[in-house]
Chains A and B, each alone.
Chain A
Amino acid sequence: MTDASSSTSEQVGYTKPRSQWWDVWDQFKTHKGAVMGAAFFIAVLIFVYVGPYIWTLDAQYIDIRARNQGPSLAHPMGADQLGRDMLARIMAGGRTSIAVGLTAMLLSLVVGTFVGVLAGYFRRVDGLLMRLTDLFLALPLLPLLLVIIMLFRDPLRATFGPEQGIFILIVFVIGITSWMQTARIVRGDVLALKEREFVLAARSIGTPPHRMILRHVLPNVLSPIMVSATLGIATAIITESALSFLGLGFPSDFPTWGRLLFDGTDWLQRNPERVIWPGLAISLTVLSVNYIGDGLRDALDPRIRGR
């Protein structure tokens, strides 16, 4: 405020405005849980994507003599009832599960945020969009899934190939049935934000609605979106396994973590490690993602930053 301080700052050379993302990164680094979560998540990614190049056994290769074997040097995680190597299956299953979890979460997040922001910001479409949300919430999930999968499985398989087709179908089904919570939370927050004076200030500047949403509304609803995103990954992985278990998901010989878990439950007494490994993989991945989300949420909020 005083002349002295401003002149000294000019001599020293004031710091240039740097990108927000550096601040976010600086804060993220100080969140121990988030850094550990991120490290673990990256380790899991390396395990499932790079692992198969080192552990070259095929997940589908049947070695009938090794069936129901416990952990050994040839099969570090044992083998299943057909003698397929569990380590290779966990790696292959992780690829699918993580891909399904991330894309389904992204889809439900995008749909939920889009619907929530539109409904909260534009009064005209509010009623319509929220009734649509209610409609989706009221739909009985399993019959809906049955119908969707019955209708679209074969055309999708024909167009994208059996695995790719099912993948698209599963991601779509999970995404389309899980965006409602996000939409509701986001709408509520947007409604409150819209009445804040800084939105009015932006209007007095002449900011058009789409930039108003991108610049003022979305950054301020990031926290609830972040929370539902991290929870969404977990739900997506688990829903996928439930679907596979019901025979509505991936074919039975195609490993995913959820699939392996359900297959393992039959052999729980004899080979408990067949349940423990995929279970551990699911819960640790979900946990690490939750920690990342927690750290990101804190890092993205300037009021918490620097504490």
Chain B
Amino acid sequence: MHRVVITGAGTINALGHDVATTFEAMREGRCGIGPLEIRDVDRLAVQIAAQVRGYGEHEHFNRQQIALFDRFTQFTLLAARQAMQQSGIEFTGDLADRSGVILGTSGGGLSTQDENYRAVYEEGKNRVHPFIVPKLMNNAATSHVSMEFNLRGPSFTVATACASSNHAMGLAFQMIRSGMCKAMLTGGSESMLVFGGVKAWEGLRVMSKDCCRPFSANRNGMVQGEGAGVFVFEDYDHAKARGANILAEVIGFAMSSDAADIVMPSKQGAARAIAGALRDAQLDKTQVGYINAHGTGTAANDKTESAAVADVFGAHADQLMISSTKSMHGHLIGGTGAVELLACIMALKDGIIAPTINYEEPDPECALDVVPNVARDAQVDVVLSNAFAFGGLNAVLALRRFS
């Protein structure tokens, strides 16, 4: 068994275009949610989102690249470049062959699909650009990352709705821990804030029209975000040998399937994934200081997740902190676990617990310490990151402070 550490992190999301800005926003409890600015927004009932603002694709990519890179791929590459720069790792020779890319996304190149369906259905065009398929495919981001940084080992994309990134990072962790790989670029990305994407979510009637208030009694739904988070996971011995700066250690991962309902979450399924991650990391539950919640702000998720945490941790549930940073960066669907892992790293490395903002009224069904509204200084040694997807697919990661 090999130890697995994180040696690089990168992101672009509604809170910032890099990790430092995102940490600052999380410390300050800043909200990235605002009016949604997309074409035909007047035909949507939901008109808010946590959009990436102030972003110009031409600042980062040339014309040929833009012809091939959907927005979700662009976000991924920007985050991957930051993570690679921080890590300082270079993939050549045998290391390149034993390192790969595993990324999560749910919608993939949804903006590309949306634009081109519009062109052929609404505008009646009979000709489309030749690169639509390589641009929209869910594995496009993974492939471009592998090409840009020469990762030639196991590489693929995971799509498990809102758990995609956690599943991706969990598999990357397992591949390094088992000795199969030396390093992995992993995380995820999403860019679903297009008319068709938001309209589809609207149909489910789980979206808030005003705000995301996880665990608060007056919560009324989720708010979508967009962006990416990408990390360098690396074999500890390899990282140590090259003198890499270590951000945190990944120590456990578990997945479960509710095998119950396509949209309603199950307490048992969530609890099995949480307990499984503790077991995989050989942790006693009292060691866990913080959980980054799935915390979508829907009525169903937050009470089910709270009940699952109470079940697994028993009396210790009242001692640990649990917050939902979706209140700030929105729900990035397939990319959400990756951005949320940043809050875990911040907790371990800086001793700052990101808050659940917009919290207004206690809910007896969510009676945990949700770190309401204001970030908290607290040294924690072990944290978990929860992700529970539609379809009942759950993925929980465990991380430890590296010292």
Q: Check if A and B associate.
A: no
